[in-house]
Amino acid sequence: MYEILKIRRLAPNVREYAVYAPEVAKHAKAGQFIILRVDENGERVPFTICDYDKNAGTVTVLVQEVGYTTMLMGRLNEGDCLKDFVGPLGKPTDLSGYKNIVLIGGGIGTAVIYPQAKQLKREGKAADVIVGARNKELIMYEAEFKAAARELYLTTDDGSYVRKGFVTDVLKELLDKKHYDCVFAVGPMPMMKAVCNVTKEAGVHTVVSMNSIMVDGTGMCGGCRVSVGGQRKYACVDGPEFDGHLIDWDEAISRLGTYKEHEAECRLRAGKGE
């Protein structure tokens, strides 16, 4: 059992969970993920690690309550336990070859780019950060990014905060004004695809983090396979990060919807408190 030591509410239906998992914390690096199960009958769900504390033995994940398992998690309190918590899985982020970097976070993907922002600042090459969300309430980690980013650009789909528009609108403006050698984007697949369309045209290398469907997370099931440059790659062991310009986005987005009817059914059950 893995105790939840701290829960922080960041937005309606978005919470940050610091889970006590000392071995995972000890070995975790930015960009890796964990798989958890809430209870004995739970499904295995992957979450990207957004922070970890080797001394406290905690690993932090950001959870938006959008499906059955995340809704169950929404009912947990500090001191409650998760049944299973395994990781760190996948390969860590490697941006060591780049100097002028833009980090882009969409929705809860924002949490994933935060450790990168911190690390890049530590390395003396603080990145420009673009954070986008549907509305003001869903803008997260603003203060943290202000401290870690060279420049922080915020945008909301509905214009309820700072400016109206998408992360790609901001990105286009930045690419016109400045020179970058790498873009690192994490968020919903359609957002990452849109970012890649922009950067491909501009010829800027782009890394994305794939949140594919998976079961084991160790390469066994093959459910997370992604076509990258015409080759079959597994998000769990070869990724989760890939060259965004090489990904077959239409296939990846469609594969994400493989079980959407079942998911809708389960969501309904979770809503009824079953």
Phi, psi of 57 (to 5 degrees): 75, 25
Per CB under 8 A, does 87 bind other proteins?
A: yes
**Number of residues near other proteins (by CB under 8 A):** 42
Q: Which is nearer to other proteins, 34 or 171 (CB)?
A: 34
What is the number of other CB atoms lying within 10 angstroms of the CB of residue 213?
16
Site for other proteins in 245-274 (CB under 8 A): 248, 250-251, 254-255, 257-259, 262-263, 266
Per CB under 8 A, does 69 bind other proteins?
A: yes
Is residue 137 helix, strand or coil?
Answer: helix
Per CB under 8 A, does 68 bind other proteins?
A: yes
DSSP state of 210: -
Per CB under 8 A, does 66 bind other proteins?
A: no
What does each C-alpha distance from 262 to 63, 134, 258, 265 come to in angstroms?
A: 20, 26, 9, 5
User: Please, what is the end-to-end C-alpha distance for the chain in angstroms?
Assistant: 22
Distance CA 142, CA 245 (A): 29
Report the greatest alpha carbon distance in the chain.
Answer: 53
Phi, psi of 212 (to 5 degrees): -75, 165
Per CB under 8 A, does 218 bind other proteins?
A: yes
Tell me the closest approach of the beta carbon of residue 35 to other proteins, in angstroms.
9
> Which one among 5, 6, 13, 44 touches other proteins, defined by CB under 8 A?
44
The interface region with other proteins, picked from 138-146, 160-168, 184-192, 227-235 by CB under 8 A, is 227-235
Summarize as ranges the residues that interact with other proteins (CB under 8 A). Answer: 23-24, 27, 37, 41-44, 68-69, 83-89, 215-223, 225, 227, 232, 234, 237, 248, 250-251, 254-255, 257-259, 262-263, 266
